[in-house]
Amino acid sequence: MSGKIFPAAQDAENAFYEALERCDLEGMMAVWAEDEDIVCVHPAGQRLCGQDQVRESWARLFAAGPRARVSVSQQVAIGAMMLAVHSVHENFTVEGDPRPTMPSLATNVYLRTAAGWRMIVHHASPAPGQPEAAPARTKGPPKTLH
């Protein structure tokens, strides 16, 4: 059991993204509930279930060391006494790479436990491209559909 206590779901979320930036496996796993029912889906990845699969996936991602910075924006947080759901945009920049990276959409679910708030689900996927501009209207009378 991790000695870290997250008194609020937002504290656990902050620790999650700090560990992600630092490639800190122990810090990352301290955020997760110590339960075999946890679920993690990385962008375009498979569903990973349980402590072993989740830990192994983060270890592989962190193997190259810290190179990415992540900023979280457009957070929508829904909270209750025992459960919190955060939907966020993850915006990554990679050190030494001038190309912009594709943002991700993530849903993070936290459970209030005896040891404070812990992540039970992280599901991230590539964000869709910018919405297409509305087509230009042609001149003339408006068309009415019945």
The bridge status of strand 83-94 relative to strand 104-113 is antiparallel
Average pLDDT, stretch 109-124? Answer: 96
Residue 48: both structure tokens together = 């990973």
pLDDT in tens, 75-95: 899 989 999 999 999 988 877
CA distances from 60 to 55, 63, 121, 125 (A): 9, 5, 19, 18
Average pLDDT, stretch 60-75? Answer: 84
Go through the chain and tell me how many residues it has: 146
Average pLDDT, stretch 15-26? Answer: 95
Give 14's contacts (C-beta < 8 A, 6+ positions apart): none
- pLDDT bin (cut points 50, 70, 90) of residue 100 is low
Residue 125: strand pairing partners: 105
What secondary structure letter does DSSP report for 66? Answer: S
**Residue 43 pLDDT greater than 60, yes or no:** yes
- pLDDT bin (cut points 50, 70, 90) of residue 142 is very low
**Residue 113 pLDDT greater than 60, yes or no:** yes
Ordered domains of the chain (ranges, CATH) = 9-126 (3.10.450.50)
Angle (CA) 88 93 94, round 5°? 135
The bridge status of strand 39-41 relative to strand 116-126 is parallel
What pTM was estimated for this model as a whole?
0.81
Distance (Å, rounded) from C-alpha 101 to C-alpha 3? 35
Given this model, what pLDDT does residue 93 score?
A: 82
Angle (CA) 121 125 130, round 5°? 140
